[in-house]
Amino acid sequence: MKKLLVLVKQVPATENVKMDEETGTMVRTAMEAVINPLDLYAVEEAVRIKEQNEEDMQISVLSMGPPMAADAVKEAIAMGCDEGFLISGKEFAGSDTWATAYALAKGITALGEFDIVLCGERATDGETGQVGPMVGTFLDLPVLTYVSGIDRISGEEIVVRRAIEGGHEVVQASMPVLVSVVKEINEPRLPTLAGKIRARQANVPVLDDEDIKAEGTKLGLGGSPTRVVKIFYPTITRTGEIVSTESASVEVCVEQLMGFLKSVEIL
Amino acid sequence: MYKGVWVLGEERNGVIHPVSYELLAWGRNLADKLGVDLACVILGDHVRNQVQELIFRGADKVYFVNHAKLGVFRVDPYTRIVAALIEKYRPEILLASATTMGRTLMPVLAAKIHTGLTADCTELDVEPSARLLLQTRPAIGGNVMATIKTPEHRPQMATVRPKSKKPLPRDPSRRGEIVEERFGEEYLYSRAKRLSFEPDVTSETPIQDADIVVAGGKGLKDGKNFNLVFELAKALDAVVGASRPTVDQGWIPYSHQVGLSGKSVTPRLYVALGISGSAAHLAGMSSAEVIVAINKDPGANIFKVADFGIVGDLFEIAPALLEQLNQRSEKTSDSNGGTRDE
C-alpha cells in the first residue's frame, strides 16, 4: 500500500483581511474562510492517483491553523481523502513560512511515513510558495515543484512533468518525494453529497506541540526567523493627468489620450 | 561574522540569463549602502567563459562552479553547493530571482541553513546601523505593503521578481575578482533527473517581453468583453494582460495574468482597462514606462500610478479609442501607399 499526504491551508474567502498592527500578522478570527483554492489541485491529484492505481492507496490530509481550519481539512475529505489532521494551538501562532514548514514536517513525521507529500503551488493569502519546498527539505525528500502532470508512479519511482520557463521538463525521482502542483495539472472535482456527509461525520484530530514532538523554540512567532516590522498602504508613485467623462465628452477625453500617447512617442 | 551581499546568478541553456544582471542592479545599491562587496554566485555547465560579464554588470566578485552536471537546475546539487559556499564565505544577504529555480532553491536553502526568506520583494533597503535588510512586499490579500526583517539569522534571504529592475549599463572598465569553486560527486548527485524537455510551441510574444500591454480587469464585467481588450491590443500591436480576478473567473488563461501571483511586466506602455489596481497587481506593472488607466471609479488605486487616466465607462471609451486608433492606422497606410506611388 502507498500512503499519500496532502497539505492544505485555510485562507480568507475575501480580500478584506485585517492585520494586527502590533505583530504584523493576520487576524484570523471572525472571517469567512475556505480551503486555499490552489490546494484543491493537490487534493484532486491525490484522489486521482488513488482512483487510477491498482495498488492500494491511502490519503491523509494535514493542515495547521486555528481550530476552524478543521473545515478546510473536511473539504479535502469531502473530495475523497481518507482522513485528516490539524496542527493547532497558541504555540503555533504568528509562524512565518519557516516555522510553519517546521511544524508541518514534524506533524508529518509524527503521522508516519508517506510515499508522496502533495501541496499546492502557494496560498492565495500569503502568496509566498515557500512552505511546500521547505517541508520537503525538513523531511529530507527530493523536492519537485511546478508539477503540471504525474506521468507514472511505479515501485519506488515517480515521473512528473514540471512547467518551467520555456517549456516542460520530464523528471524522474525516487520516492518518498514532495510534489507541489500547479493549476494546469487537473480540474478539481466538486464534492459529492456522499463525500460531504462523510466529511461532516469525520473526526479531525488536533495535534499540539507535544503530539508532533516539536522543539518549542522553533514554533510560532518566537521560532520565526522573519519579523513583519511595518504595514502600510502603497504611496502614490506618479502624478498623472486625469480627465473625466463627467466634465468632458468621451470624444474629448479620447482625443486627449491620443495626444498624450503621441507626446510620449507611443504613436 | 557575516559580510557582503550575494546574488544568485542563473544560467539557462548554457547562457547567463539576464535576470542575473537585474539581480546585480538590486544588489549593487545594497552593497554600496553597507560599504561591502557585491558578489555573484553562479552554477552551470558553460559559465566559465562568461563570468567576466557579471563583473561588467556590477559584481565585485564572482564565485562560479562549472560542471557538466550543473547545466540544468536540480534541487539536490544546487542546494548542497550553495549551502557550502554560504558556509565558507558567510554573506550577510543573498538575493535570487523569483524564477522557477529561485522559487524552489531559496526556500529549500532557507530551511536547510535555518534562516528567514521573503518572497517577491518589490523594494529592498538596508538599515545601515544594524545592517538589517528591509524587505518590502505586498501582503495578505495584496492591498497593503509589509516590511519584513530577519533580525538574527544569516544570511538574510529574499527573492525579487524577474523584470522588476533594469540591469545596470555594461561597464567594460570594471575590474573584479573571479573565483572558481570545485565540488566532487558527493555534492553533485541528484535524487531527481531530467528525462526530457519539451519546449513550448507558441508564436505569441510572452507578456514579460511585450513592448505594449493592454490589460483588462473586473470592470469588463464578463469574459466575452475581453474581445474589446484583444481588439485594442491588436490596434496597438500589444500583448493582452489581465488582473487576477478575471483569471480566477476563467475569463482568460493564467498566462495573461499580471501581478504578484502572475507575471511582472515592464513594457513601454501599460493600458489598464477596468482594473482597480490592488497592491498585488501594481507590484506586477508599476515599473512600466508609461501607464494609462481607464476606470469608472475616480478613487481607484490604479490612477495613483497612472501617467494618464480617464474616469468613465470603459464600454464607451474603449470603442472610441479603438476607432481613433484604427482611423490613424488607415491614414498611415494611405500615406505609405502614397509614398510607394511616388
Instruction: Identify all chain B residues contacting A228, using CB atoms and an 8 Å cutoff.
Output: 139, 146-148
**Which domains can be identified in chain B, with CATH numbers?**
5-188 (3.40.50.620), 207-341 (3.40.50.1220)
Instruction: Identify all chain B residues contacting A258, using CB atoms and an 8 Å cutoff.
Output: 321, 324-325, 328
Residue B341's pLDDT is 42
Give the Cα-Cα-Cα angle B96, B100, B103 (nearest 5 degrees): 50
Any residues with CB less than 8 A from the CB of B144 and at least 6 apart, and which?
A19, A231, A232, A233, A234, B138, B279
Find, in chain B, the residue whose alpha carbon is nearest to that of A267: B236
% helix, strand, coil for chain A, step of 5 = 30, 30, 40
Disruptive mutation site among B94, B117, B308 for chain A (greatest number of A CBs within 10 Å): B308
Find, in chain B, the residue whose alpha carbon is nearest to that of A180: B104
Residue A265's pLDDT is 87
The interface pTM score, or ipTM, of the predicted complex is 0.89
Residues of chain B with pLDDT under 70: 140-142, 202-203, 332-342
Residue B142's pLDDT is 66
- As given in the structure block, the three cell numbers for residue A247 are 466634465
Plot region of A99 (φ>0 → left; ψ -120 to 50 → alpha; else → beta): alpha
Asked if the bond preceding A191 is cis, omega within 30° of 0, the reply is: no
* Record: contact A168-B198, CB cut-off 8 A: yes
Domain ranges of chain A: 2-218, 234-267
* Record: contact B282-A24, CB cut-off 8 A: no
**Min Cα–Cα distance to chain B from A142, Å:** 6
Fold of A2-218: Rossmann fold (3.40.50)
What length does chain A have?
A: 267
Find, in chain A, the residue whose alpha carbon is nearest to that of B162: A165
The A residues from 101 to 130 touching B (CB cutoff 8 Å) are 101-102, 122, 124-130
Instruction: Identify all chain A residues contacting B103, using CB atoms and an 8 Å cutoff.
Output: 129, 133, 145
Grouped pLDDT means (10 residues each) for chain A, 267 residues: 97 66 61 89 98 94 97 98 98 97 98 98 91 98 98 95 94 98 94 96 98 98 96 76 93 95 90
Residue B339's pLDDT is 45
Gap between the Cα atoms of A256 and B211, Å rounded: 22
Sign of CA dihedral B52, B55, B60, B62: negative
The A residues from 193 to 252 touching B (CB cutoff 8 Å) are 224-234, 236-238, 240-246, 250-251
- As given in the structure block, the three cell numbers for residue B27 are 544588489
Residue A19's pLDDT is 61
Disruptive mutation site among A23, A95, A135, A253 for chain B (greatest number of B CBs within 10 Å): A253
**Min Cα–Cα distance to chain B from A6, Å:** 19
Nearest to B117 among A97, A102, A138 (CB): A97
- Residue A257 near chain B (CB below 8 Å): yes
Residue A190's pLDDT is 95
Instruction: Identify all chain A residues contacting B302, using CB atoms and an 8 Å cutoff.
Output: none
* Record: contact A260-B111, CB cut-off 8 A: no
Gap between the Cα atoms of B149 and A159, Å rounded: 39
Gap between the Cα atoms of B47 and B56, Å rounded: 15
Gap between the Cα atoms of A32 and A30, Å rounded: 7
Nearest to A173 among B106, B191, B316 (CB): B191
For B57-113, write each residue's pLDDT tens digit.
999 999 999 999 999 999 999 999 999 999 999 999 999 999 999 999 999 999 999
Give the Cα-Cα-Cα angle B239, B240, B244 (nearest 5 degrees): 140
Any residues with CB less than 8 A from the CB of A30 and at least 6 apart, and which?
none
Q: Which has the closest alpha carbon to B297: B310, B308, B306?
A: B310
Residue B239's SS3 state is strand
Residue A154: beta bridge partners? A157
* Record: contact B12-A165, CB cut-off 8 A: yes
* Residue B152 burial (C-beta neighbours within 10 Å; 0-12, 13-18, 19+): exposed
Residue B208's pLDDT is 84
- As given in the structure block, the three cell numbers for residue B33 are 549602502
Cβ neighbours around B182 below 10 Å, total: 8
Tell me the Cα Rg of chain B: 23
Angle, in degrees to the nearest 10, between helices B100-113 and B75-89: 50
Residue A21's pLDDT is 60
Instruction: Identify all chain B residues contacting A108, using CB atoms and an 8 Å cutoff.
Output: none
- Contacts A–B by Cβ distance under 8 A: 246
